[in-house]
Structure 1
């Protein structure tokens, strides 16, 4: 077995992610929620996938998810810990408030030895001086409370001291969390059993013979490679979030000329799909939502360099709302990133630009930050001067500085404040679900998601559409064989990860619905290949 990676580092989208897996009925999940059942999980998945349901794939996922977790924890470097995440739609049929999302345990990447330098660094925009934050709320709450709680202050001080020491010794953080920990643990597991990971090695084409895939042709620094595969080629190229031609076909906001910024690796250009098509594989496009949508903002680092900030946290906080250029709100800002992104695209239908502005006052900015702007005591002056953060002494002035209709924004904020004083949001019902409240501020009473926007100056960040990876992809059998348009299997060719069409049918029902199914179906595909190899060996 050999792993070929075209980038000079390994880890891909996984290394940039939150590292959460949606695996219902895992050992952790059963301890947290003993009342959860196969029937409830199936009901939830059927409800969420709707007309795009693949019943056989859903059943395979439910049956194999817990087995995958048990296998990886027993046989590899993988370790998982529970999270407190609710399902993203906990009030939907079969939804739950806890027990289905697990997280890769933190990892000391010195365990990778000399390969530590080849691990893809975390997404720059969501680190502080390169320090990662665990995607569980338990870690983040200390950073938001560092100026209010001695316990949180000491926690943050220890984290910072440790990180500064790591930077001095290793020029990067070594105690990694979230997706970096997931990628590092998986890489260590492969390297420990002598599976090579060849970086800076780009696969150019699939080799086929009599309709069967028998290997690949690749290029590396020292020349071209021809690699034959006895038991199959597995495509895991990260989908197509940076394939400009393909996303123009299926992203509604791109079709109408809107901006799209993806925080996924720029190397995810749909190579796997393109190569599979050349040997007869069929790419299935057509989900109503072709990707896992993520509202993002463009961060100016300076010297012409920019980054993409995913708005994972700020939208949930009290005293922050999202408005269109018209000045009106359009959705519950505390819904999941995917749901808010889908709502934004619908709200901007017929317009060339798909964008919103997150609005807050001085109090909320100081408590929670806004986008890439950090909470107090971190200075916001540099981001104001660069134009990332927009300021106005009044709501009307803020509107004019953003290009929003001033009278409309003033009316929106006034109407919102009247209800927010009582912790209510009759327009969009923020705080109604356990997921709305999960990433909000529990100290804000009576509604952790709602507070007035009343104390000037006022601030805004412009937000456009991005994604966390694609849902559309190659059609496969349940066990991962790539299919032709007529439904027949291409012998020797498999697809996993985001190259394989998502079992979630273009929806995003919970934290980790990319990694959970991807690792589960990777496990299923690996077992299928091993079974075929053993059968072939026995025949010989």
Structure 2
């Protein structure tokens, strides 16, 4: 791309290289515009590359084939029953209309290939309009070798999504690896994965090239950018927007090779820099108390895009249910003082034989609920007793079968985690509680009350395992409740979890064409927002897996189409 780096005028400048930004860039390019992508880090992919990769788009054209035919009325009813007044109704209509069209466009004209889940309940499956599958899609596995020398330019996934120092795994892979000695199919699957991975490393790749989850989505977008010849500038922070006398956004000030330059944008600028989860001042202003640096987003996502949009007249959204998309996070302090964050999303909390307790040693939430609702429960519980941090507790049978956070199952070494203060281990519940700073009698009493009911598959206090989403993440082979089992076999284990997030929901208010709006609700000419810089269409609610990436791809496409055509027809 070096031959194009001196050019300082384009039709469109896109700031940020996650799903929202790259979707906008690709669409604008495919519609005939001259596009530049600028990225302040040295890697492409943003939050998308380290995410789970789910994309939620109701009414997509794969839903019926996946066994879950959808209707507009059903999807709208579900969003009304989960989002309601927390989100902008007009933008919600635009999402339902444009989402299926955006996915079809990207599938037909780029390498963005997704597969609808045949079974994946929405997070509130008992509310009217919910679906049991079809609305959430996953990126199809991608061969990183297709990126050639640019493979190293793609942001690496979270270490927690890898084993053996760089082999990506999804939930299906983990289940096969855990059953590799019990099933020939699992053994065959595991051997195939290992041969591919070791072949990659022997070939000189810094990690495995079998890409999954959000890393596969980012790779597919990046591969399409390369195929379309869209120039991208790395290590190029945006410093501010250029506007004319009428307030129209006409370009971007950038820091390029240590010098400040201005790149002009004839049609407009798309801001998609990933929200503000690592901006301490904004967290302090907008997050509930207590908060801390617990985000799973890249640490470069510090709100500069939102600040630039505000300086050009944009305003933050209002009426939302919360500022962020929550996830419980455990913290390991490494010997060098750096902190590793582990998100307890879908693996351990719902499995039978784990409970979460507050400082009194008492349960305060359904452990199998969504990660977003779990943290909400932490904040609610903290008003009554200290549930921040909360303690996840299990016994040795659970540990050997499922693991707990960074502590892996199957007899894997975990003494280093105990020494580091991440993992607590004791022969009695009372000693475990003392180590973790929890009331010993309270924890012992909680477990004594919990165990007989759990053995019968009952949780009258919080209803763990009481709906399809809970059971989806539990153990289907465990009866009578996929999510409940006693905590009884010493030694006992625990980790502390904190109220983390996987990104912010509070962003710049926009219309259904992804145009940033000013304080009077009027579009700011030449300024578009996408991804987590755009105020969430869900208003800080979290109805289903993939409600960040689905709107990001959708409104990136909408922005690209509007920039190219001046309009996006909505039904």
The TM-score, its normalising length taken from structure 2, stands at 0.90
User: What is the rounded CA distance, in whole Å, between the counterparts of 2:357 and 2:178 in structure 1?
Assistant: 25
Residue 32 of structure 1 and its aligned partner are, at CA, apart by 2.0
Aligned pair partner of 1:518 in 534, 548, 552: 552
Aligned pair partner of 2:145 in 103, 110, 119: 110
User: What is the rounded CA distance, in whole Å, between the counterparts of 2:168 and 2:116 in structure 1?
Assistant: 16
Residue 116 of structure 1 and its aligned partner are, at CA, apart by 1.2
User: What is the rounded CA distance, in whole Å, between the counterparts of 1:296 and 1:495 in structure 2?
Assistant: 28
User: What is the rounded CA distance, in whole Å, between the counterparts of 2:378 and 2:522 in structure 1?
Assistant: 39
Which residue matches 1:538?
none
User: What is the rounded CA distance, in whole Å, between the counterparts of 1:390 and 1:150 in structure 2?
Assistant: 35
Residue 364 of structure 1 and its aligned partner are, at CA, apart by 0.2
Which residue matches 1:361?
395
Q: Please say which of residues 517-526 and 219-228 is displaced more in the overlay.
A: 219-228
Aligned pair partner of 1:380 in 399, 414, 426: 414
Residue 215 of structure 1 and its aligned partner are, at CA, apart by 0.2
Aligned pair partner of 2:262 in 226, 230, 233: 226
Residue 6 of structure 1 and its aligned partner are, at CA, apart by 0.2
Mark the CA change 1:301 to 1:167 in structure 2 (over 3 Å): closer, same or farther: farther
The SS at the match of 2:267 is coil
The SS at the match of 2:566 is helix
Which residue matches 2:477?
443
CA contact (8 A) 1:5 1:201 kept: yes
User: What is the rounded CA distance, in whole Å, between the counterparts of 1:509 and 1:468 in structure 2?
Assistant: 15
Aligned pair partner of 1:191 in 209, 218, 226: 226
Whether 1:432 aligns to 2:500 is no
Q: Which runs of no fewer than 5 residues in structure 2 stay unpaired?
A: 1-34
Whether 1:321 aligns to 2:355 is yes
Residue 233 of structure 1 and its aligned partner are, at CA, apart by 0.4
The SS at the match of 2:164 is coil
Residue 222 of structure 1 and its aligned partner are, at CA, apart by 5.1
Aligned pair partner of 1:417 in 438, 442, 451: 451
Whether 1:213 aligns to 2:249 is yes
Residue 156 of structure 1 and its aligned partner are, at CA, apart by 2.2
CA contact (8 A) 1:250 1:285 kept: no
The Cα offsets for residues 205-251 of structure 1, whole Å up to 9 and x where unpaired, read as 10111111100010122522210001000000101101111111121
Residue 440 of structure 1 and its aligned partner are, at CA, apart by 1.3
User: What is the rounded CA distance, in whole Å, between the counterparts of 1:154 and 1:369 in structure 2?
Assistant: 23
User: What is the rounded CA distance, in whole Å, between the counterparts of 1:35 and 1:332 in structure 2?
Assistant: 30
Residue 261 of structure 1 and its aligned partner are, at CA, apart by 0.6
Mark the CA change 1:34 to 1:457 in structure 2 (over 3 Å): closer, same or farther: closer
Whether 1:472 aligns to 2:506 is yes
Which residue matches 1:120?
155
Residue 300 of structure 1 and its aligned partner are, at CA, apart by 3.2
User: What is the rounded CA distance, in whole Å, between the counterparts of 1:352 and 1:318 in structure 2?
Assistant: 25
Alignment of 1:42-441 (within 5 A): 42-83=76-117, 84-135=119-170, 137-169=171-203, 170-210=205-245, 211-221=247-257, 223-254=259-290, 258-312=291-345, 313-349=347-383, 354-441=388-475
Residue 148 of structure 1 and its aligned partner are, at CA, apart by 3.6
User: What is the rounded CA distance, in whole Å, between the counterparts of 1:71 and 1:35 in structure 2?
Assistant: 20
CA contact (8 A) 1:259 1:354 kept: no
Residue 470 of structure 1 and its aligned partner are, at CA, apart by 0.6
Aligned pair partner of 1:461 in 476, 487, 495: 495
Report the RMSD for the aligned CA atoms in angstroms. 1.7
User: What is the rounded CA distance, in whole Å, between the counterparts of 1:199 and 1:353 in structure 2?
Assistant: 42
Which residue matches 1:503?
537
User: What is the rounded CA distance, in whole Å, between the counterparts of 2:168 and 2:465 in structure 1?
Assistant: 24
User: What is the rounded CA distance, in whole Å, between the counterparts of 1:234 and 1:144 in structure 2?
Assistant: 44
User: What is the rounded CA distance, in whole Å, between the counterparts of 1:456 and 1:232 in structure 2?
Assistant: 62
User: What is the rounded CA distance, in whole Å, between the counterparts of 1:308 and 1:512 in structure 2?
Assistant: 21
Residue 7 of structure 1 and its aligned partner are, at CA, apart by 0.5
User: What is the rounded CA distance, in whole Å, between the counterparts of 1:154 and 1:380 in structure 2?
Assistant: 27
Which residue matches 2:21?
none
The SS at the match of 2:163 is coil
Mark the CA change 1:533 to 1:338 in structure 2 (over 3 Å): closer, same or farther: closer
User: What is the rounded CA distance, in whole Å, between the counterparts of 2:509 and 2:295 in structure 1?
Assistant: 24
CA contact (8 A) 1:125 1:308 kept: no
The TM-score, its normalising length taken from structure 1, stands at 0.95
Residue 533 of structure 1 and its aligned partner are, at CA, apart by 9.3
CA contact (8 A) 1:133 1:140 kept: no
Q: Which runs of no fewer than 5 residues in structure 1 stay unpaired?
A: 535-540
Residue 351 of structure 1 and its aligned partner are, at CA, apart by 6.7
Residue 34 of structure 1 and its aligned partner are, at CA, apart by 4.4
CA contact (8 A) 1:250 1:286 kept: no
User: What is the rounded CA distance, in whole Å, between the counterparts of 1:142 and 1:248 in structure 2?
Assistant: 43
The SS at the match of 1:505 is coil
CA contact (8 A) 2:273 2:532 kept: yes
The SS at the match of 1:122 is coil
User: What is the rounded CA distance, in whole Å, between the counterparts of 1:67 and 1:275 in structure 2?
Assistant: 30
The Cα offsets for residues 99-142 of structure 1, whole Å up to 9 and x where unpaired, read as 1100111111121122111100001233213445454x433322
